[in-house]
Structure 1
Amino acid sequence: MHLSIFACLAWSTVVITSLVPPLGYDRRVLRAAFDRREFVGTLSCLTEAANTTTAPKRNPWAPLTPKENLAVWNLLHEAASGLNLTHPTEAKLTDNYVFWVDVLPTNKSAVLPYLDKGAAIPAKYARAIIFQGGKAKPDSQEYMIGPLPVSAKTTVEKLDYIYNGPSGGSVPYNARYFDAQRSDATDPLIASIMSNISDITQALFQGAYFGSRDLRTNIALTSGTPESFDGTGAFRNIMFRLRGSATYMTPLDFYLLIDCTGTDASLYSLKGFVTNEKFFPTVSDLRRAFKAGELAMEFNQTLDGDWASPDYKLEMGLRDLETHLAPSTLELGGKRYKFDKDNQYVEYMGWSFYLSFSRTLGIMFYDIKFKGERILYELSMQEATAQYTGNQPKAASTVYHDTHYELGTEMGTLVEGFDCPWGSTFWNISYPSYNTTQVNPNSICIFETELNFPLSRHRTGFSNDYGSSYVVKGAALIVRAIATVGNYDYMFDYSFHIDGSLEVIVRASGYLQASYYYPAQGKYGPRIQQATQGSLHDHIITYKADFDILGTSNSLQVSELKAVNQSQPLPSWFPELGTFEQMEMHIHNMKKEKQFNYAPNNQAMYVVVSPNATNVWGELRGYRIVPGHSNIHLSTLHSPWSLRNSEFAKSHLAVTRQHDNEPFANSVQNVNLPLRPQQDFSKFFDGESVEDEDLVVWFNLGMHHFTRSEDVPLTLYTEAYSSIVFAPQNFFDRAQDGDLLNRVQVDKGVDSMSKTYGVQLDTCPVVFKERTELSGEDSDISTGAEV
Structure 2
Amino acid sequence: MWLLRLAWALAVLGIAAGSSPSPNPTAPPPDQASIFADLTPAELRAVRTFLMSRPELGLSPSRGGPLAKNTLFLVELLPPKKRLALRYLDQGGPRPQRQARAVVFFGAQAEPNVTEFAVGPLPRPSSYRPLRFKGGRAVPFAARPMTLLEYELLHRTLAEAMEPLYRLLRDSTGFWYHNCSRHCLTFSDIAPRGLASGERRSWLILQRFVEGFFLHPVGLEVLVDHRDPDPRRWAVQRLWYNGQYFSSPQELAERYERGTLAVARLAEPPFQQLFSSYEPRGRFATGTPTEVHGAKVCEPQGRRYRLRGNRLEYGGWSLAFRLRSSAGLQLFDLRFNGERLAYEVSVQEAIAFYGGHTPAAMQTKYMDAGWGMGSVTYELARGIDCPDTATYLDAHHFYDADGPVRFSHAICIFELPTGVPLRRHFDSDFRGGFHFYAGLEGQALVLRTTSTVYNYDYIWDFLLYPNGVMEAKVHATGYIHATFYTPQGRRYGSRVHSHVLGNLHTHLVHYKVDLDIAGTGNSFETMDVRFENISNPWSPGARVVQPWLHRQPRRSERQAAFPFGKALPRYLLFYNPHRRNRWGHPRSYRIQHSSHAGRVLPRGWQEEKGISWGRYHLAVTRHHENEPTSSSIYAQNDPWEPLVSFEGFLRNNETIEDQDLVAWVTVGFLHVPHAEDIPNTATPGNAVGFFLRPFNFFDEDPSVASHSPVIVRPLDPPHLLPAGDPALDARQPRPLRRPGALHLQRHLPAGVTCPGAGGDAGHPVPGRTGVAVGTPRCGPCRAMPRPRLSKDNATSSSPVSAWAVWQPWHRHGHRSRHGHGER
Contact 1:488–1:510 (Cα < 8 Å) also in 2: yes
Deviation at 1:732, TM superposition (A): 1.0
Q: Deviations over 1:105-150 (max 9, x none)?
A: 2111110000000011101111111111110111122122122233
Q: Which of the numbers 18, 22, 37 marks the counterpart of 1:62?
A: 37
**In the alignment, which residue of structure 2 is the partner of 1:180?**
148
Contact 1:746–1:754 (Cα < 8 Å) also in 2: no
* Cα distance in 2, alignment partners of residues 604 and 107 from structure 1: 33
Give the direction of change, closer, same or farther, for the CA distance of 1:241–1:557 in structure 2 (3 Å limit): same
Deviation at 1:298, TM superposition (A): 4.9
Deviation at 1:659, TM superposition (A): 1.1
Q: Deviations over 1:607-653 (max 9, x none)?
A: 1111111111111111111122x341443235856321111223221
Give the direction of change, closer, same or farther, for the CA distance of 1:758–1:55 in structure 2 (3 Å limit): farther
Does residue 132 in structure 1 map to residue 106 in structure 2? Answer: yes
> Aligned ranges for residues 296-695 of structure 1 at < 5 Å?
296-298=262-264, 300=266, 303-304=269-270, 306-316=273-283, 319-341=287-309, 344-432=310-398, 434=401, 436-460=403-427, 461-562=429-530, 564-568=531-535, 573=539, 575-577=541-543, 581-594=545-558, 595-597=561-563, 603-628=569-594, 630-638=595-603, 642-685=607-650, 686-695=652-661
Contact 1:360–1:407 (Cα < 8 Å) also in 2: yes
Which deviates further from its counterpart, 328-337 or 499-508?
328-337
Deviation at 1:465, TM superposition (A): 2.6
Q: What is the TM-score with the length of structure 2 in the denominator?
A: 0.81
> Aligned ranges for residues 95-134 of structure 1 at < 5 Å?
95-134=69-108
Q: What is the SS of the residue equivalent to 1:737?
A: helix
Deviation at 1:322, TM superposition (A): 2.3
* Cα distance in 2, alignment partners of residues 688 and 587 from structure 1: 21
Q: Which of the numbers 89, 114, 117 marks the counterpart of 2:63?
A: 89
* Cα distance in 1, alignment partners of residues 166 and 539 from structure 2: 87
Contact 1:51–1:337 (Cα < 8 Å) also in 2: no
Q: Which of the numbers 716, 723, 729 marks the counterpart of 2:689?
A: 723
Q: What is the SS of the residue equivalent to 2:72?
A: strand
Deviation at 1:694, TM superposition (A): 0.7
Q: Which of the numbers 146, 149, 166 marks the counterpart of 2:123?
A: 149
Does residue 280 in structure 1 map to residue 282 in structure 2? Answer: no
* Cα distance in 1, alignment partners of residues 592 and 291 from structure 2: 40
Q: Which amino acid aligns with 2:625?
A: D
Q: Deviations over 1:164-189 (max 9, x none)?
A: 3662xx32222222223323333444
Counting aligned pairs with the same residue, the percent is 27
Q: Deviations over 1:287-314 (max 9, x none)?
A: 4543564433456365237333443424
Give the direction of change, closer, same or farther, for the CA distance of 1:231–1:128 in structure 2 (3 Å limit): farther
> Aligned ranges for residues 196-345 of structure 1 at < 5 Å?
196-210=164-178, 215=181, 218-283=184-249, 285-287=251-253, 289-290=255-256, 293-298=259-264, 300=266, 303-304=269-270, 306-316=273-283, 319-341=287-309, 344-345=310-311
Give the direction of change, closer, same or farther, for the CA distance of 1:711–1:676 in structure 2 (3 Å limit): same
Deviation at 1:230, TM superposition (A): 4.5
Q: Which of the numbers 59, 75, 78 marks the counterpart of 2:50?
A: 75
Q: What is the SS of the residue equivalent to 1:183?
A: helix
Deviation at 1:333, TM superposition (A): 3.2
Q: Which amino acid aligns with 1:648?
A: W
Q: Deviations over 1:406-434 (max 9, x none)?
A: 22221122222222122211211122365
Q: Deviations over 1:338-359 (max 9, x none)?
A: 1213xx1111111111112211
Deviation at 1:380, TM superposition (A): 0.8
Contact 1:175–1:227 (Cα < 8 Å) also in 2: no
Contact 2:33–2:320 (Cα < 8 Å) also in 1: no
Q: Which amino acid aligns with 1:149?
A: P
Q: Deviations over 1:501-551 (max 9, x none)?
A: 001111011111211112332221111111111121122121111101111
Q: What is the SS of the residue equivalent to 1:567?
A: strand
Which deviates further from its counterpart, 253-262 or 750-759?
750-759
Give the direction of change, closer, same or farther, for the CA distance of 1:736–1:717 in structure 2 (3 Å limit): same
* Cα distance in 1, alignment partners of residues 556 and 706 from structure 2: 41
Contact 1:124–1:146 (Cα < 8 Å) also in 2: yes
Q: What is the SS of the residue equivalent to 2:63?
A: helix
Structure 2 stretches lacking a partner, 5+ long:
1-23, 717-736, 759-781, 784-823
Q: Deviations over 1:666-696 (max 9, x none)?
A: 1111111121111111111121111111111
Contact 2:183–2:209 (Cα < 8 Å) also in 1: no
Which deviates further from its counterpart, 230-239 or 347-356?
230-239
Does residue 171 in structure 1 map to residue 146 in structure 2? Answer: no
Contact 1:561–1:603 (Cα < 8 Å) also in 2: no
Deviation at 1:738, TM superposition (A): 2.4
Contact 2:575–2:586 (Cα < 8 Å) also in 1: yes
**In the alignment, which residue of structure 2 is the partner of 1:12?**
none
Which deviates further from its counterpart, 384-393 or 292-301?
292-301
* Cα distance in 2, alignment partners of residues 225 and 309 from structure 1: 24
* Cα distance in 1, alignment partners of residues 191 and 490 from structure 2: 24
* Cα distance in 1, alignment partners of residues 25 and 444 from structure 2: 15
Q: Which of the numbers 669, 680, 687 marks the counterpart of 1:714?
A: 680
Give the direction of change, closer, same or farther, for the CA distance of 1:317–1:503 in structure 2 (3 Å limit): closer
Give the direction of change, closer, same or farther, for the CA distance of 1:442–1:190 in structure 2 (3 Å limit): closer
* Cα distance in 1, alignment partners of residues 369 and 203 from structure 2: 21
Which deviates further from its counterpart, 689-698 or 440-449?
440-449
Q: Deviations over 1:711-769 (max 9, x none)?
A: 1111111121112111100001122232222112233564668999998696432499x
**In the alignment, which residue of structure 2 is the partner of 1:764?**
754
Q: Which amino acid aligns with 1:119?
A: G
Contact 1:448–1:477 (Cα < 8 Å) also in 2: yes
Contact 1:593–1:687 (Cα < 8 Å) also in 2: yes
Deviation at 1:361, TM superposition (A): 2.1
Deviation at 1:321, TM superposition (A): 2.6
Contact 1:378–1:547 (Cα < 8 Å) also in 2: yes
Q: Deviations over 1:411-459 (max 9, x none)?
A: 1222222221222112111223655332222221111122211111122
Query: RMSD of the TM alignment (CA)?
Result: 2.8
Q: Which of the numbers 158, 161, 164 marks the counterpart of 2:130?
A: 158
* Cα distance in 1, alignment partners of residues 140 and 241 from structure 2: 32
* Cα distance in 2, alignment partners of residues 190 and 528 from structure 1: 28
Contact 1:667–1:678 (Cα < 8 Å) also in 2: yes
Which deviates further from its counterpart, 173-182 or 282-291?
282-291
Structure 1 stretches lacking a partner, 5+ long:
1-48, 769-785
| Greater relative CO, 1 or 2 (CA 8 Å, sep 6+) | 1
